[in-house]
A and B are shown apart, each in its own frame.
Chain A
């Protein structure tokens, strides 16, 4: 790894820009993201910026049980995030469907079967510090080139 690649890798950890994707959440998880940017947790210390467009994001925070209608949207938005990218699943919903599991309107499968998830943040809703920790871990994975999408690209180049 030469010097510039090394600086770029470090920058990936120091400047994780996030965008949020509500895939059918009750809003409980989403509302816990707001305090991250407020004085108490101040995610900007870690270089976190919240962006509205997936084109500017490095990390997508996906919250909520996956509904039948949100599947396409998740795939579409995930595809718009430029590489390298990481996915953080917020709350119990993306993992299991949580209290909505079994409803005819939800997918009833884990988010991992739609897009590759790098970090799971459990809780219903998760605490803000847990979300921040999830972002920091995803940023570290981006630095190491170890997010699932980075590994897939790497494998794709090998074969």
Chain B
């Protein structure tokens, strides 16, 4: 009973929906504001992502003809659920969830579910643009997952365990730096930011795979993206930033690290133009591959 409650609290309150949604909106606002400032604009007001979400909640949902209603509406729910469940496993300070052996594997699996939902959303919508976006998303995930997974697996090898708390507590070393860099390499593509915004290229394929979505389901997809930003940045902070014995200080450091990482990827996104799918693939298989090989080698020589 106790464990069930702690999971529920982690899912719904901290670090789950109740805190992750505002945090995700804050991060979205920060990114949009930074892009605007870099372009010499004023940028959106502070509550903009919240207003966007509330407005979408109040809109009608148009379901295209011939689309399976159940799947169409379930996908955004599954996406939010999976990404929040993944965040609930991350051992942020104050997270009530007990650390289980092998929860890294669960985390990695749950993190793939939103990607899968996006791909399926593109295909079930029966829109040709949505299908192209879905195909690009699926292929791109094959590219960026190489450095992403290797970075986490190398840390697990270093810590000698597939347990989040062990990863967090691993003594700091050179593998942290290498694996952290490999992780950062995969981050812009995971966040679908600019040089790798191939799946949501609004100029070529109108919108991402949510092109046929409107109203509350679209709001949930946007929420899922916001929570995913929190998840990715905090995962980076928890795994690659050394923890101090003071939880409150840890929390501040983690949040600051998250904002810093977002600032970095946003800078990259504003400074670059979109690559083609083949170029992104070559980049990840060559440079991501080299980074992965170096990281793995570093864990083995020790």
Q: Hey, which bits of chain A sit against chain B, CB under 8 A?
A: 5, 7-12, 14-15, 38-39, 42, 44-45, 47, 49, 51-53, 55-56, 58, 80, 82-84
Contact = CB atoms under 8 A, between A and B. Distances in A.
Interface stretch (B2-10, B53-61, B223-231): B53-61
Contact of B59 (A5, A42, A47, A83): A83
Interface residues of B, number: 33
A38 B62 CA distance: 31
27 contacts: A11-B51, A12-B58, A14-B45, A15-B54, A39-B39, A39-B41, A42-B43, A44-B32, A44-B43, A45-B44, A47-B44, A47-B45, A47-B48, A47-B52, A51-B207, A52-B207, A53-B129, A53-B212, A55-B62, A55-B214, A56-B214, A56-B218, A58-B55, A58-B59, A82-B59, A82-B214, A84-B59
B55 A82 contact: no
A45 B42 contact: yes
Interface in B21-56: 32, 36, 39-45, 47-48, 50-55
Given A5-B58, A42-B42, A47-B44, 7 more contacts: A42-B41, A42-B43, A44-B32, A47-B52, A53-B212, A55-B212, A83-B59
Contact of A44 (B36, B47, B206, B211): B36
B51 A15 contact: yes
B54 A8 contact: yes
Output the residue of A7, A38, A82 with the most chain B CB within 10 A. A82
A5 B55 CA distance: 10
Contact of B52 (A15, A39, A52): A15
Contacts of A56: 207, 214, 218
A45 B43 CA distance: 5
Contacts of B40: 39
B284 interface: no
A42 B32 CA distance: 13
Contacts of B44: 44-45, 47
Given A45-B42, A45-B43, A55 B58 contact: no
Nearest to A14: B51
Nearest to B129: A53
A42 B37 CA distance: 11
B93 interface: no
B52 A44 contact: no
Contacts of B43: 42, 44-45
A79 to B, nearest CB: 9
A39 B43 CA distance: 9
A118 B95 CA distance: 50
Output the residue of A10, A39, A55, A80 with the most chain B CB within 10 A. A55
Nearest to B204: A52
Output the residue of B42, B58, B211 with the most chain A CB within 10 A. B58
